[in-house]
Structure 1
Amino acid sequence: MRTSNHLIGALNFLTFLLSIPILGGGIWLSGRANNTDCLKFLQWPLIVIGVAIMVVSLAGFAGACYRNIFLMYFYLWAMFVIIAALIGFVIFAYVVTDKGSDRVVPGRVYREYYLADYSGWLEKRVASDSNWRKISSCIRDSHVCPKLRRMTGGFPEAAEAFYRRKLNPVQSGCCKPPTSCGYTYVNETGWNPVGGMGGTNLDCLQWSNDQEQLCYSCNSCKAGVLASLKKSWRKVSVINIVIVIILVIVYVVACAAFRHTKRIDNDEPYGETRMEKAQPSRLHF
């Protein structure tokens, strides 16, 4: 009995520790939402799940220490729901970030992103006018584009140096016009059309050298946000998959330990069936 309780307590302590990276992933996404991705509702499911695992683990730990059957039942049922919710979140994250990828640009190290490559629920949510106004305002306030500027000898870096830079998706999509526009480089956030004309891409008409405008209204900027979200979610999902596997193993062992504890509480010898206990034989060998 004491060994089973110790095992259950140790397993609950382990699940408590596993809640930390889940909660950390939610907080990391929250930081990304404030500074880069700017879509601020995606982190909350992870934060809620992480806090729930912490609370349920503490309840299970208390139940194991004080032999409280109610708390142990609560732990087992609640943890089952939490594991199911976490699995659902991982599946959802992979489904909504399934579409879209970057494109190689000849003569450039950085990649570019096109909204036409993305589709589905997340694309519609990001690209909708009401949401995009908030997202573009967040990107502008984060000063992600001004941070691109580099000075060499009191002058902006040369075009060739800029072309060799690795830009993140938001920087590539929002801070410069698409390469297909044929604009000439002035500085990191200043580009001029050749002969006063840009390309046929509608984003070429959206581009402005006004530092408050740039390409914040461009589809390439929306695609950059989607690409950034995809990278963030995939990183967190890999960690969550590992945690789900460990949680399932811990849960199965905890169930077995709890059943063993109940069997001892009911004075059932190991291997004795319920039928034998309900109708004991008069002859004992």
Structure 2
Amino acid sequence: MGVSNNVTAVLNLIALLCSVPIISSGVWLSSKPDNECAHHLRWPIVILGTLLLLVALAGFVGAYWNRQGLLAVYLFAMALLIAALLFVTVFAFVVTRDEVSFSFPGRGYREYRLAGFSSWLREHVVDPEDWVKIRACLADSDVCSKLALDYFTADQFYTGHISPLQSGCCKPPTVCGYTYVNPTLWLNPANPSADPDCYLWSNDQGRLCYECNSCKAGLLGNLREEWRKANRIVIAAVVILIIVYLVACSAFRNAQSEELFRHSKS
């Protein structure tokens, strides 16, 4: 194995290591309740990370056993994967850029409105047909029920930092003026706000605020936070991959030159 192929083999080990945080961030995303329920948004990063792992292994094999044809295929496939990862990261950044959240005095959590999110996110989550499935999934999860294990008094709950999903789906909007009994049980106000969500809230533990616009906005708020966290990891990995790819291209050209030189001498 020539020096250039040695370099390429090492570079592919680095690329292989880069696939680990990408796959891990994708698995982390897919394990979250909001991504489990909005299932069609779950897998792109996992799939791309797995393909990266396989391509890096192919590149290592090609470099170690000096298979120049396999190395050429590896470089082509790696370019496509880097382009796909760049597209996914830029796209995720663009669709999660907008967000409108607000807080109330004495409240540790924030509340969300649908109008604050990108139209792409809204269309792929709050479409009536999609929401029927998402709502049923959320109702079957422990997103709201586990709040009762963390908060016992109104003061604890009001100053707690619950997730956007819990803020939107597990309690009535603060503007409605409901009185706290426990995190998912509230007393009706005498004169509720005109906000339509105020009339959609139910103390039925299977309904709560799952039909509220605030719940849909809370789901989008959760997705936004989680996607942006995962995006930072993927961006860092992509930067390393671009550097690795450029060096690998140079090493491949050098290997071709070494091969031509050996043939000319023989």
TM-score exceeds 0.5: yes
| Preserved CA contact (<8 Å) 2:139 2:206 | yes
Aligned residue in 2 for 1:206:
200
- What is the CA–CA distance in structure 1 between the aligned matches of 2:155 and 2:13, rounded to whole Å? 55
Please name the residue that 1:165 is paired with: 160
Offset of residue 79 of structure 1? 0.3
Shift of 1:138: 1.3
In the alignment, which residue of structure 1 is the partner of 2:5? 5
- Residue 150 (structure 1) shift: 4.3
Kindly report which structure 2 residues correspond to 1:237-256, keeping only aligned pairs within 5 A, or say none: 237-256=231-250
Q: Normalized against structure 1, the TM-score is what? A: 0.88
Deviations 1:189-211, CA, capped at 9 Å, x for gaps = 1112222x311100001001111
Percent identity (aligned): 46
In 1, Cα distance between the equivalents of 2:135 and 2:105? 28
Question: In the alignment, is the contact (CA less than 8 A) between 2:96 and 2:118 conserved in 1?
Answer: no
| Structure 1 residues 184-229: Cα deviation after superposition (integer angstroms, max 9, x where no partner) | 112211112222x311100001001111111000000000000000
Contact 2:201 2:208 in 1 (8 A): yes
Per-residue Cα deviation, 1:229-271 (whole angstroms, up to 9, x for no partner): 0011101110111111100100010011111111111118xxx
Residues 1:179 and 2:174 aligned together: yes
Q: Assess if the C-alpha contact under 8 Å between 1:36 and 1:142 holds in 2.
A: no
Is contact 1:29-1:42 (8 Å) kept? no
Q: In terms of Rg, which structure is larger?
A: 1
2:89 maps to what in 1? Answer: 90
| Contact residue 36 and residue 144 of structure 1 kept, 8 A | no
Q: Secondary structure at the match of 1:266?
A: helix
Distance (whole Å) between structure 1 residues aligned to residue 15 and residue 189 of structure 2: 61
Q: Distance in 2 between matches of 1:217 and 1:263?
A: 66
Residue matched to 2:131: 132
Distance, in Å, in 2 between the alignment partners of 1:15 and 1:157 is 48
Q: How far apart are 1:20 and its partner, in Å?
A: 0.9
Change (3 A) 1:62 1:150: closer
- Is residue 184 of structure 2 the alignment partner of residue 189 of structure 1? yes
Q: 1:126: Cα distance to partner?
A: 0.9
1:158 CA drift (Å): 2.7
Partner Cα distance (2:164, 2:170) in 1: 10
The alpha-carbon deviation at position 160 of structure 1 amounts to 2.0
Q: Does 2:38 align with 1:39?
A: yes
Letter in 2 for 1:70: G
Alignment pair present for 1:70 and 2:65: no
Q: Distance in 2 between matches of 1:54 and 1:166?
A: 37
Q: Deviations over 1:43-94 (max 9, x none)?
A: 3211111111111111111111111111010011000000000000001101
Report the Cα distance in structure 2 between the residues aligned to 1:158 and 1:252, rounded to whole angstroms: 58
Amino acid at match of 1:24: S
* Matched ranges for 1:107-118 at <5 A: 107-118=106-117
When structure 1 is superposed on structure 2, of 90-99 and 72-81 the one drifting more is 90-99
Deviation of the 1:135 alpha carbon: 1.1
Residue by residue, what CA displacement relative to the aligned partner does 1:113-142 show, whole Å, maximum 9, x if unpaired?
A: 111222311111111111111111111111
What is the number of equivalent residue pairs in this alignment? 262
Where 2:110 maps in the other structure, the secondary structure is: coil
Rounded Cα–Cα distance in structure 2 between residues aligned with 1:26 and 1:42: 11
What's 2:256 paired with?
A: 262
TM-score norm. by structure 2 comes to 0.94
Equivalent position of 1:228 in the other structure: 222
Secondary structure of the residue aligned to 2:180 is strand
Q: Is the 8 A contact 1:8 1:64 kept in 2?
A: yes
Distance 2:156 2:44 in 1: 41
Q: Corresponding residue for 1:283?
A: none
Q: Is the 8 A contact 1:99 1:119 kept in 2?
A: yes
Check conservation: 1:186, 1:192, Cα contact below 8 A: yes
